[in-house]
Amino acid sequence: MITDKEHKRHLKQFHKLSDRHILAVETDMPYSDAVKVVALSDKIRKAGNELAGLMRKNYNQLMRTKRYRKLLFLYGNSKDKVKRKTYAEQLNEMQKAYNITWEYCRTSMIPIGKKYGVDAVFALTKAEDIWRGIEKCL
């Protein structure tokens, strides 16, 4: 039989090597409430995955265009502020054309949230998280 101390040491080693996040929750709420919380988090995860897939598809379509890649290259290499501003405006126009905007992300999450029965606050929070990830790629 292994002791608590050994178990914790092995668990720490496992968490360091594991690429997944493991969440253990200890709570004083009744089991039925805990089941509801887990079910809600699963719905939020599914809605988020659907929105992330939609935004990823739009992003991949945008990145396949030669014009966008060329503008990114020119924007990165330009030293002149006026040119950088014009390149940035053109990049933003293309992002709007391919539906890669915060507005599109937010409005797309509304029907997805309703589909999965997720409250508007949780849906908006998940949409914000996804948009932050998309912004890092842009």
Q: E strand or H helix at 14, and its extent?
A: helix 4-17
Span 16-47, pLDDT tens digits: 776 666 566 667 778 888 889 889 999 999 99
Span 78-100, pLDDT tens digits: 999 999 999 999 999 999 999 99
Whether 117 is covered by a domain: the verdict is yes
Host domain of residue 129:
45-137
CA 53, CA 116: separation in Å to the nearest integer? 15
Give how many domains the chain has, as a whole number: 1
Whether 37 is covered by a domain: the verdict is no
CA 129, CA 134: separation in Å to the nearest integer? 9
Whether 24 is covered by a domain: the verdict is no
Please give the pLDDT value at position 101: 96
CA 48, CA 125: separation in Å to the nearest integer? 10
CA 36, CA 31: separation in Å to the nearest integer? 9
CA 90, CA 27: separation in Å to the nearest integer? 51
Whether 89 is covered by a domain: the verdict is yes
CB 62 within 8 A of CB 94: yes
Q: The pTM is what?
A: 0.77
Q: What are the structure tokens assigned to 79, written together? A: 């030293």
Pairwise pLDDT comparison (33 vs 77), residue with the higher score: 77
Whether 3 is covered by a domain: the verdict is no
Q: What are the structure tokens assigned to 91, written together? A: 């990049």
